[in-house]
Structure 1
Amino acid sequence: MLLIFTDLDGTLLNSDDYGYDAALPVLKQLQELKIPVIPVTSKTRSEVEVLREQIGLTDAFIVENGSAVFIPISEQNLASPQTENWGDYYLMQFGFNYTEARQGLQKVAEVLNQPLKGFGDLSEAEIHQLTGLHPEDVKRAKNREFTEPFVTPKNLTSVEIEQAVNPWGFQVVVGDRFSHLIGQKAGKGKAVQWLIEQYQNHQPDAKIITVGLGNSPNDLPMLEVVEIPIIIPGKQGPHPGLQNRGWEVAILSGCQGWANAVREISRRLDINLN
């Protein structure tokens, strides 16, 4: 059984125009073969739901940097005593809720003695200006349930930020523009491992092979726990933070690189993708 875990922006989606057309034929074939394609992203549930509908994904997905796994009700076999009903899904939550994340950001700002601007402090217009997201996408990005992104302070190192958040039960995924305040029990790697266990529990005799595709250090926790990690390069090559690990690197960037890499892995595993 093959499981494909994938980052979205800069991986399954182009980094410049968020396009995914080149991946659609492969995604369709994977769905026909009942091979799960599982987004693992910093995006919110609202953002992923729209994308899943657009590209035809029906499997579970991992949101807000591994803070939660959403399993469609139709996949009841993957639920466990730890999951709870959440509308059309079973939810496995690893992090805090959004109210706790907002309170955490205020505490961290006090410790650092400087204001930290989170998504909850920014208007939709400000987020649009900072991200270039379409106004409708900004609304979905602000619809957070577990974590709080904040503008990365330029005068602090990632170590200084981490030291400020850890005593409060948080960790931080530091980015160039935004950093994400998430719970210490959350993480892309932890969420991926948990979901792999659910598939294995449901099919104890199955040989499960896991593939992960990502493009940035934010994806390291996911790439480190799958059997076949694949780096999707940017236009200038692989991210420096992912180099020298001996992992496969796709030849092309974005959705075309993603599609080619998945085809090649499938061929090696004797899975027939046309």
Structure 2
Amino acid sequence: MACIIFTDLDGTLLNGETYAYQAALPTLAQLTEQGIPVVPVTSKTRQEVAQLRHDIGLRDPFVVENGSAIYLPTVPTRFALPPGDDRDGYRILQLGCNYVTARAGLKAIAQDLGRPLKGFGDWTVDQVVQLTGLSPEEAKQAKAREFTEPFMTPKNVPPERLRAAVEAMGFRVVIGDRFSHLIGAGAGKGPAVHQLVQLYRVANPDIATVTTIGLGNSPNDLDMLDNVDYPIVLPGAHGPHPLLADRGWPIAPAAAPEGWAMAVAAAMAAAPL
């Protein structure tokens, strides 16, 4: 039997306000020693995650832009490498559309709604800094989109109407309080989880059972949390997100990163590994 940990980043592994992760480092080191993969599953870009992996010392695959692509290190790992292109030391498994298609889709959806929809591609680095609070270097990495377009969630447009307009154009949307993400029809954190479990099974045919643990903090993570064996909700400073609090899932005893470490320890103790 084996285990894979899938985790969101901001507000889950990283503190939602300070982006601190130091309190999780001992747990991450222990997981590495036990041979348990820790897979970031995030809305962030490849550039953002690659920098963080380097800072924290992660070595496993990662999922970017809301499940639009999986990046697998081409060096030997516990996951099989699917057919595909290599870039910067990673094998790329693309699940969603490319960025040009997403940008064109956003314009078409805006025209259909009769409302302007502005996304990261419309803003300068300085404007992204002002809108998000990121540093200039972080904003530059966040603008390095390859598959999806984050856009300002339109006011006075019901979520149902926005979702219907998006789906009519052949896309999916992850609706957020401030920013929403336009993604390809085949993308999603859930599909990415299933792809990685399958690649793990291919690389480890002698393992009968693969147990999956998922950690997230927002509705953006529902697609991942719904597709793991042990979903865990990370609370923010004011408690868990209302849309995740009443699903019967365990809620970590503290915010990230301390809560992440405690929740992983509890899940590892409870899971039949």
CA-to-aligned-CA distance 1:114-168 (integer Å, 9 cap, x gap) = 2111100011111111110011000000000000001111111111111111122
Partner of 1:122 in structure 2? 123
Which residue type is aligned with residue 51 of structure 2?
V
Q: What SS class does the counterpart of residue 128 from structure 2 fall into?
A: helix
Question: What aligned pairs does 1:110-189 form with structure 2 within 5 A after superposition?
Answer: 110-189=111-190
Which residue type is aligned with residue 198 of structure 1?
L
Q: What SS class does the counterpart of residue 62 from structure 1 fall into?
A: strand
Cα RMSD (Å) of the superposition? 1.3
CA-to-aligned-CA distance 1:58-107 (integer Å, 9 cap, x gap) = 000000000000000014651123x3323311111111101111111111
Percent of matched pairs sharing the same residue: 53
**Structure 2, unpaired ranges of 5+:** none
Q: State whether structure 2 residue 101 is matched by structure 1 residue 86.
A: no
Using the TM superposition, give the Cα deviation of residue 270 of structure 1 relative to its aligned residue in structure 2, in angstroms: 7.9
Q: Give the Cα separation in 1 of the matches to 2:186 and 2:70.
A: 13
Q: Give the Cα separation in 1 of the matches to 2:127 and 2:82.
A: 40
Residues 270, 101 of structure 1: CA spacing in aligned structure 2 closer, same or farther, 3 A cutoff?
closer
Partner of 2:25 in structure 1? 24
Partner of 2:10 in structure 1? 9
Which residue type is aligned with residue 65 of structure 2?
E
Q: Give the Cα separation in 2 of the matches to 1:241 and 1:219.
A: 11
Residues 183, 202 of structure 1: CA spacing in aligned structure 2 closer, same or farther, 3 A cutoff?
same
Q: What SS class does the counterpart of residue 120 from structure 2 fall into?
A: coil
Question: What aligned pairs does 1:1-274 form with structure 2 within 5 A after superposition?
Answer: 1-75=2-76, 77-81=79-83, 83-206=84-207, 207-269=209-271
CA-to-aligned-CA distance 1:215-242 (integer Å, 9 cap, x gap) = 1111011011110111111121111101
**Structure 1, unpaired ranges of 5+:** none
Using the TM superposition, give the Cα deviation of residue 244 of structure 1 relative to its aligned residue in structure 2, in angstroms: 2.0
Using the TM superposition, give the Cα deviation of residue 202 of structure 1 relative to its aligned residue in structure 2, in angstroms: 1.8
Using the TM superposition, give the Cα deviation of residue 269 of structure 1 relative to its aligned residue in structure 2, in angstroms: 4.5
Q: What SS class does the counterpart of residue 228 from structure 2 fall into?
A: coil
Q: Give the Cα separation in 2 of the matches to 1:7 and 1:159.
A: 25
Q: Give the Cα separation in 2 of the matches to 1:195 and 1:92.
A: 10
Q: Give the Cα separation in 2 of the matches to 1:250 and 1:259.
A: 9
Q: What SS class does the counterpart of residue 212 from structure 1 fall into?
A: strand
Using the TM superposition, give the Cα deviation of residue 38 of structure 1 relative to its aligned residue in structure 2, in angstroms: 0.2
Q: Give the Cα separation in 1 of the matches to 2:176 and 2:155.
A: 11
Q: What SS class does the counterpart of residue 120 from structure 1 fall into?
A: helix
Using the TM superposition, give the Cα deviation of residue 205 of structure 1 relative to its aligned residue in structure 2, in angstroms: 2.9
TM-score normalised by structure 1 residue count: 0.95
